[in-house]
Chain A
Amino acid sequence: MIPAQFSYRRASTVDEALGLLAEHGEDAKLLAGGQSLLPLMKLRLAAPEVLVDLAAIDELRYVRLDGDEIAIGALSRHQDLNGDLVLAEHAPLLAHVAGFVGDLQIRHRGTIGGSLAHADSAADLPAAILASDGVLVVRGPSGERRIPAVEFFLGPFTTPLEPDELLTEIRVPRQTGLGWGFEKFTRRAIDWAIVGVAVVGRSVGLINMGGTPVRARATEEALASGASPAEAGALAAEDTSPVDEPHATAEYRRHLARVLTTRALTTAAA
């Protein structure tokens, strides 16, 4: 399959990218690793007129400790994060989860910024960032703004990013010493999660339990009141609205959310 025609532009700096976005407006789409966008374009489910390639913006590919926070450049690739020592020490959940995205080839190209901006509820990293109380740093023509992850995932594939804005950095509080756990349930290793759970400390992010990644608030509240992993896990499906599909009914997804959350909490507590 072959994408519809478009014109390709390569940006080498954030300012250049913003300039191209300003020039082309809603006709343009940002291309980071392309591992979500290009498949959609090949199936002609997306057909932007202009693609602005960000891959050459080296300034956005980093992981660094910044006080009590970890700062992750939006163009860091999944494989970068999976092997990053700073991340492994201070936000081990994210390093771990990055190793589960797609397959090795996809992890060599795909970026954390691309994954978050794509805002697929079935993706792994959005729920992990949500559970990590992440903050997304966004640059636009009028400067920089910061959006907490809890306010970033508005709906299926929908975020507050404006067409002229660029996600540049993801910041998460240091998780040093906190327990964490991750469960991803699939039929095949390469499949999207039917349901997944990312736990760090007492925060719980759910994958594919609705149109967006969500926090399991009832579970978190129970944990705060001293509930056991099994007791708290049993509440994981509260207030969720998972998709009902023949291969994964909503009822089955709710069941999985409870089982997987209990397991992830047990791992985190160990």
Chain B
Amino acid sequence: MSIVGTRVVRIEDQKLITQGGTYVDDLREEALTGAVHAMFVRSPIAHARISSIDTSAALVSPGVVAVYTLADVDLTPPAPTEAPVAQPWLADGVVRYVGEPVALVLAEERYQLPDAAELIDIDYDPLDAVASIDAALTDETVLFPEVGGNLLQTHGGPFDDNAFDACEVVVTQTIVNQRVAPAPLEVRGASCTWGEDGRLTVWLSTQNAQLARSAIAAGLGVGKEKVRVITPDVGGGFGAKIGADLEVVVLGWAAKRSGRSVRWTETRSENLTSMTHGRAQQNTVTIGGKRDGTVQAFRLDVIQDAGAYPRALFLPTLTELMATGVYRFPKIETRSRAVATNTTPIGAYRGAGRPEATAAIERAMDLFAAEIGKDPAEVRKVNFIGPDEFPYQSPTGANYDTGEYAKALDKALEAGGYAELRAEQARRREAGDPVVLGLGLAAYVEITGGDAGGESGRVDINPDGTVTAYTGSSPHGQGLDTTLTMLLSDQLGIPMDKITIRHGDTDEVPKAVGTFGSRSLQLGGSAVREAAGQVIDRARRLAADLLEASPDDLELNVEQGAWQVRGAPSSGVLTWSQLAAQVSEGELSADVWFGDGTPTFPFGAHLAVVEVDTETGKVVLKRIIAVDDAGPVVNPLAFQGQRHGGLGQGTAQALLEVMSYDPDGNPTTATLADYSFISATELPDFELVDMATPTTRNPLGVKGIGEAATIGSTPAVQNAVVDALAHLGVKHLDMPTTPIRVWQALEDARK
């Protein structure tokens, strides 16, 4: 029986549960013995001119090896990529967000760093801060006068004034998709050492060593071959550890300048202001249609707060791409604008552009349903793209592969007991219960592997018959080692314990893209599968020679891991180890690149059930029922784990999390005591419902599952909170649905 599709506990876990992972800060490599420790001194002010920096006192503080400012850094300034401006290596006369690196301190011991950092005297002349999208759009204060204004990118539009003329009902709402912090439990860290061969080795907590290597080499102005990046265990990334942040280039430079190996681990408070944030969109939806529930036109107007130094301007356009979600709308219009503000730069965060699209359309569907007085489930069903319409070319330019959207919603409604829940809701309302019930739906489709890149995979059968596979994917918690091992074991007929998966070292895997955008299994997994397929083809020919048979007559008995002549078992068998021992090294090896950049489109439906205490405003998530369809499942254990994690983060955004700034651009949630990172106590058990619709776009039939549940759960919970309060006159509530927000909305509705 095939192991694929069965629940397999992870091979990664033995070490993690007995001695813990080996994260960057845990490395005890010989090359790092005697390394200096590094700390960035960061701006405490959102927008200011630096009038002077005095490092003299810090330089004589105990243990200090060096203090560097931009004046010391003899590197070419970072090249602007997608935005017209790029963040300098260290602040260049002006700071533009709290957390921007201004100076770098190196000291012999970790404990000496904050002592020295306190002694660096930096004079800031404060400038007016742009702390919100609204402030940015006025252009009263401009971050980059050379660009002309705070508007950095416009895409799509203009809008047709008559777009909604034929509609019986039109609803418009501005929806804030608030800024959140990715907050992987392991903060950022790196260690750098230059070898005698003139090569830089960087151990980096990253989602993709190869992209990091390119960024570091480019920043340092050296060839890629001069940089080796090694990824140790990584304590979560969620999109915010893609590539290498500019701090890492500065550390590599500092290692060279100081002639010392350098170790760096940021603090959590640094992490919350200096690692990129996610979301941060303000979206205005307009939805119009008939009173029977048919939507005729939808408009999405996106404003992306890009932060101080834009670096992910693909986010708002990706939101536009996915604007219509699972629905067939006759008319659709989108536009996006991105503005600079004096806040932490925005980057990818679990979902990256798609949760914003889904939240916008799914709130819009509920607003429309409420306006025409119909059940939101019914209105959705009227507008779904039908199962016979795939592949479906969306009006915004996406080509959906496969989907059964109505079926997914029906499964969620049935598993949740939707009708009974509605009855319970009505009972409570009737009885005047101060604790009201709310039901929220979200039907979603998202895009995975949507980055137009492929992935590398290499499989070697070693002379002893064991397997070493190299993947360009870079798992950091997803359990991909186990998943790939299962696939290889199944395909080759070699036991899992004889298979080793390698990743994350650019010397071993020179060409790769890495892990983000839920791409790893469909691209990295398919690459390894194709490589193994090629190895099997080669093995067939080699075994045929040895067994003196025709390759066409040879078959791989995967139960025994042996080659045999079809229908003539007595003519001999060759196990993988026998075969490997008899061929030249490298003959049973294949190195492939998989993928033409065609994405896949996972989908699903979530039903959230909340209780709201109308006296205090407190929301309690009672249930969340999730149908997440990403095609066939290799390891249900890891698949469910990804969904659980997505539900945790997605519901956290709806209920609690927001990275806040005051009007002067000071972050007010810059520690984990202030930032409402969700805990076990605020979450219910999750209810997962299975559904598997394969894609035609890769040999495994799989789509990505890393972000799906995040995308569905956020609007489901938000819709549930609004639904709970609907009978009291509340039509919309922005996230997070904190107690004060709910109470305020109820107060406003009472007036």
Report if A and B touch in the complex (beta carbons < 8 A): yes
CA distance A188 to B619 in the complex (A): 11
Residue positions of A touching B, CB distance < 8 A = 1-2, 4-5, 39, 43-44, 185, 187-191, 194, 246-249, 252, 255-256, 259-260
CA distance A104 to B738 in the complex (A): 25
Whether B656 pairs with A187 at a CB distance below 8 angstroms is yes
B682 at the interface (CB under 8 A from A): yes
Stretch at the interface among B108-116, B148-156, B716-724: B108-116
- Count of chain B residues near A, Cβ 8 A: 27
Whether B114 pairs with A259 at a CB distance below 8 angstroms is no
**A260: chain B residues within 8 A (beta carbon):** 616
Nearest 4 Cβ contacts at the A-B interface: A189-B681, A259-B615, A252-B740, A2-B111
Decide: A189 near B679, CB < 8 A? Known: A2-B110, A246-B660, A259-B615. yes
B560 at the interface (CB under 8 A from A): no
Whether B656 pairs with A247 at a CB distance below 8 angstroms is no
Whether B679 pairs with A188 at a CB distance below 8 angstroms is yes
**5 A–B contacts from the bound complex (CB under 8 Å):** A2-B110, A5-B115, A39-B673, A187-B738, A188-B679
Which residue of A has the minimal Cβ distance to B270?
Answer: A1
Which residue of B has the minimal Cβ distance to A245?
Answer: B668
**A5: chain B residues within 8 A (beta carbon):** 115
Which residue of B has the minimal Cβ distance to A263?
Answer: B615
B571 at the interface (CB under 8 A from A): no
Whether B656 pairs with A246 at a CB distance below 8 angstroms is no
B676 at the interface (CB under 8 A from A): yes
CA distance A1 to B117 in the complex (A): 12
What does the 1/0 interface line of B716-751 toward A look like (CB < 8 Å)? 000000000000000000000011100110000000
Task: Give the tally of cross-chain contacts (CB within 8 A).
Answer: 51
**A246: chain B residues within 8 A (beta carbon):** 660, 662, 668
Which residue of B has the minimal Cβ distance to A195?
Answer: B616
B696 at the interface (CB under 8 A from A): no
**A255: chain B residues within 8 A (beta carbon):** 743
CA distance A244 to B671 in the complex (A): 20
CA distance A2 to B267 in the complex (A): 10
CA distance A4 to B116 in the complex (A): 11
B691 at the interface (CB under 8 A from A): no
Whether B618 pairs with A185 at a CB distance below 8 angstroms is yes
CA distance A189 to B110 in the complex (A): 33
Whether A248 pairs with B740 at a CB distance below 8 angstroms is yes
CA distance A246 to B269 in the complex (A): 20
B83 at the interface (CB under 8 A from A): no
B11 at the interface (CB under 8 A from A): no
B678 at the interface (CB under 8 A from A): yes
**B738: chain A residues within 8 A (beta carbon):** 187, 247
CA distance A44 to B668 in the complex (A): 18
CA distance A5 to B668 in the complex (A): 28
CB within 8 A of A256: which of B118, B267, B616, B656? B616
Which residue of B has the minimal Cβ distance to A259?
Answer: B615
Which residue of A has the minimal Cβ distance to B268?
Answer: A1
**A2: chain B residues within 8 A (beta carbon):** 110-111, 113-114
**B113: chain A residues within 8 A (beta carbon):** 2
Whether B115 pairs with A185 at a CB distance below 8 angstroms is no
Whether B681 pairs with A188 at a CB distance below 8 angstroms is yes
Whether B681 pairs with A187 at a CB distance below 8 angstroms is no
